[in-house]
Amino acid sequence: MAEVSKNSVTHQLITENEHGQRLDNLLLKQCKGVPKSHLYSIVRSGQVRVNGRRAEVSYRLQNGDVLRIPPLRVASVEQDVVAGAELKVHLPVVYEDEGLLVVDKPAGIAVHGGSGESFGVIEALRRQRPQARFLELAHRLDRETSGILLLGKKRSALLALHEMFREGAAGGGRRGVDKRYLVLVSGRWMDPLRHVRLPLLKYLQPSGERRVRVAEEGKAAHTIFRLLARWERFSLLEAELRTGRTHQIRVHLAHLGYPIAGDEKYGDFMLNKALAREGLKRMFLHASRMRLAHPLDGSELVVEAALPVALNGFVQGISAKERQEYGEKV
């Protein structure tokens, strides 16, 4: 990806990674800090050209096109403190090939910057891998959730991944994605297997904070829960997503009366304070396993991320204090 200059014209050769993108979307991505209205103006005035000719903002770039961008003053790169933080973020690689990167995202870092976050996983990876020509998120995880996160290293792979996630889990589409999470809830969950089908609706609180609740007018949401272990006060579940709604697992469990341990948004706030004193200082939700068809060759791919040390240690602490009533000894 060519770096836009503030002093001279930039010429960029379009590759397969930009093929099919709208001209305005590519400019918005590359010209950070330049007002959208100004970018549209320079396209319409002919200062931006494709293959030496004027182009509409809606033009879809083709492999081999030569894009001309006039001198522009783009936003300066993040401050040195932020840049240093990005470089220090530890993002273990679970799997990587020419089209796909899978990392084990730690809790406490957003997948991308914005909304009060100076940087996220994608910004950190781009800074850590300056040679990468293309790197984009295929899906999202909540800031507080750890585990499997997929990124496309080729546009063709990214588009295929997006299609798979749209088709839903393996049961909902031939080329879907099977996503599994490990979650510790407050309470004694009794069902070995339970299908939860409760529609979810996004809404805004008066403060402007985004929330989700169960509502008849919401979008269909389906989660399958399997009981792995149960103690006197807690239960360890595996959650399988059949749909991918925002905060789906968190809201389904809270609505059923089994809030996730450490969930500051939908959980039991008094319990969370007590758990923090016992050593649980984050939400106990971890994306542990994903099965999908490889986006480039269609072969089956299974990726796994072990339960983080802090979460595993907390579970071991529960087992030391409470009698385990269900499942293999943890």
Of the chain, the percentage scoring pLDDT greater than 90 comes to 65
For residue 87, being part of any structural domain is answered with yes
- The predicted-structure confidence for 56-109, as pLDDT tens digits, reads as follows 999 999 988 999 999 987 665 444 445 555 667 789 999 999 999 999 999 999
Active site residue ranges: 142
Helix axes 36-44, 23-30, angle to 10 degrees: 130
For residue 328, being part of any structural domain is answered with no
- Domain shared by 181 and 60, yes or no: no
Region class of 28: left (phi > 0), else alpha (psi between -120 and 50), else beta: alpha
Strands (E), 198-295: 200-204, 210-214, 222-230, 234-241, 285-293
Give the residue from 286, 265, 259, 262 showing the smallest Cα distance to 274. Answer: 262
- Domain shared by 50 and 188, yes or no: no
CATH code, domain carrying 139:
3.30.2350.10
Domain assignment of residue 142, given as a range: 80-158
Of the chain, the percentage scoring pLDDT greater than 70 comes to 91
Look at residue 305 in the predicted model and tell me its pLDDT: 97
What DSSP assignment string belongs to 68-127? EE----PPPPPPHHHHHHHHH----EEEE-SSEEEEEEPTT--SS-BTTBS--HHHHHHH
- How far, rounded to the nearest angstrom, does the alpha carbon of residue 291 sit from its chain's CA centroid? 16
Number of domains within the chain: 3
- Kindly tell me if the per-residue pLDDT of 190 is higher than 90: yes
- The predicted-structure confidence for 39-69, as pLDDT tens digits, reads as follows 999 999 999 999 999 999 999 999 889 999 9
- The predicted-structure confidence for 115-163, as pLDDT tens digits, reads as follows 556 678 998 898 888 888 899 999 999 999 999 999 999 999 999 999 9
Of 133, 158, 183, which residue sits at a domain end?
Answer: 158
CATH code, domain carrying 29:
3.10.290.10
- Look up residue 44 and give its amino acid: R
Look at residue 328 in the predicted model and tell me its pLDDT: 82
Look at residue 85 in the predicted model and tell me its pLDDT: 58
Encoded tokens for 209: 């904070």
